[in-house]
Structure 1
Amino acid sequence: MIIFPAVDLRHGRVVRLQQGRADAETKYSDDPAQVAARWQNEGAEWLHIVNLDGAFGDSKGVQLNAPALQAILTTVSIPVQFGGGLRDLASIESAFARGVARVVIGTAAIENPQLVSDALARFGTARIVIGIDARAGKVATHGWRTQSPISNLDLAKQMSERGVVRIVYTDIARDGMLRGVDTNAMAELARAANVRVIASGGVASLRDIEALAAQEEVEGAIVGQALYTGAINLEEAIAVAHRLC
């Protein structure tokens, strides 16, 4: 199983939010490239970068995040998975042109599912991931501010039918809260849609890493708050993930 350190960008800085709330922000660094380099130096095999301003529709913040993303891509040699505000082929292509290895499509998967099909046809299944962010079993969009009537399982099945093979699944209620991860929900979604899942939201301890690694359908875990607070040591987490997979 792959451990993805999370680097969330807002107005050019590295921050963490609680349950995706913009008013519950903790700033960790003004130097995203330095943060990314730290995770690479500690053994990270991938990075998960989120353009929070893109997700929120904040154009000023997006402009500030662009050089931050480029600095990260210039600094590290490991592959980067990137999401946040990617809602058309042009923005996806731009991300790949910058050097991103894989993109995560979230809101657009609901609002414009044809985009998913077009992106898969153009860039391939290995480079396109769907982000499903759920609260109480229902999908949330636009930076988690809009609640959709569609269930997480139904959306996952619809995306699988379009050819998607990998989903980042975030449990919003647990994100940034260090409450532990719902491994059963992750595995249930993976089995229901016949996809691979990258778990996100609530990873708080090595015990969570062990529990996720024991699930055959879970191929990765995104870890954010626990790394930044020191609750999890990245090198130890990677060792546990490799030992159990």
Structure 2
Amino acid sequence: MPEMLVYMVFEVIPAVDMRGGKCVQLVQGVPGSEIVSLDDPLEVALDWVRKGAKTLHLVDLDGAIEGKRKNAPIIEKIVHTCREKGVRIQVGGGIRSFEDASALLQLGVSRVILGTAALQNPELVKRLSSAFGNECITVALDAKNGKISIKGWTEECAYTPMEMGRKFEELGAGSLLFTNIDTEGLMQGINPAPTKELVESVSIPVIASGGVSSLQDLKILKKIGAAGVVIGSALYTGRFTLEAAIEAVLHE
């Protein structure tokens, strides 16, 4: 049984996004827009652990965009290596079936993140929650212009994050990962309003993502009730260090 993630304090979670076997950061999820491209995702993950990360956020971008988990071998290596150091791992991108999620949880992943699969087959969330416990199941709600996007942010749905958040809470999701695509990767700061609306709509933890570019952004997200934040570009481009981010929210 995978180790449960329980958010007792606001947690700062570094992202390790993978595409074509490399660690990358895309602008608003658009392939070819890489602002960061590093050859060894495992070494990147270990560096975040050395700097204080207690949880890592792994994303198979090829899986998210194409539906095939091409970076699975690298993810497996990171999971095995980092779990030995007591680090929790959450994984998203290309998890399309009960079998995909089950394999990751049995591998030792602490939490699987379902996006497109959950939107297209909501009962999958209920089935996984029943089999593994809701703490292991996160649903990713990625929003653009107030509406949910799926398939690597290439298709827009008619539903709002609040509607889907309440639905997935009822189905057994243990937490939500909310990404505001309108600000993601632009390094221009967050818009806290959509995250706050979602936090106030559900009783399960909401992890924020998208647009963080300053330590003040982190403090705002904690203040509005988010349980944590996934950070990518701001860390990779040196806006602030992971150590500074952890310290900034410690006593807020």
Q: TM-score range by the shorter chain?
A: over 0.9
In the TM superposition, 1:192-231 aligns within 5 A as: 192-215=201-224, 217-231=225-239
Shift in Å, 1:194? 2.5
In structure 2, the partner of 1:34 is 43
Structure 2 residue 59 is matched with structure 1 residue 66: no
1:228 & 1:27 partners in 2: Cα distance? 7
1:224 & 1:196 partners in 2: Cα distance? 20
In structure 2, the partner of 1:243 is 251
Contact kept, 8 Å, 1:19 with 1:177, in 2: the verdict is yes
Mean CA deviation greater in 185-194 or 229-238: 185-194
Determine helix, strand or coil for the equivalent of 2:94: coil
1:24 corresponds, among 33, 36, 42, to 33
Using structure 1 for the length normalisation, give the TM-score: 0.94
In structure 2, the partner of 1:98 is 107
How many aligned residue pairs are there? 240
Shift in Å, 1:160? 1.6
Change (3 A) 1:165 1:75: closer
Shift in Å, 1:58? 5.6
Determine helix, strand or coil for the equivalent of 1:23: coil
Determine helix, strand or coil for the equivalent of 1:22: coil
2:103 & 2:34 partners in 1: Cα distance? 28
In the TM superposition, 1:99-114 aligns within 5 A as: 99-114=108-123
In structure 2, the partner of 1:152 is 161
Using structure 2 for the length normalisation, give the TM-score: 0.92
Unpaired stretches in structure 1, ≥5 consecutive residues: none
Q: Percent of pairs identical after alignment? A: 36
Contact kept, 8 Å, 2:18 with 2:61, in 1: the verdict is yes
1:58 & 1:110 partners in 2: Cα distance? 14
Larger % of strand: which?
A: 1
In structure 2, the partner of 1:120 is 129
2:210 & 2:148 partners in 1: Cα distance? 14
Shift in Å, 1:98? 2.1
Structure 2 residue 247 is matched with structure 1 residue 233: no
- Residues 132-157 of structure 1 show CA distances to partners (whole Å, capped at 9, x for unaligned) of 00001100000000111111111111
Letter in 2 for 1:243: H
Structure 2 residue 187 is matched with structure 1 residue 182: no
In the TM superposition, 1:123-142 aligns within 5 A as: 123-142=132-151
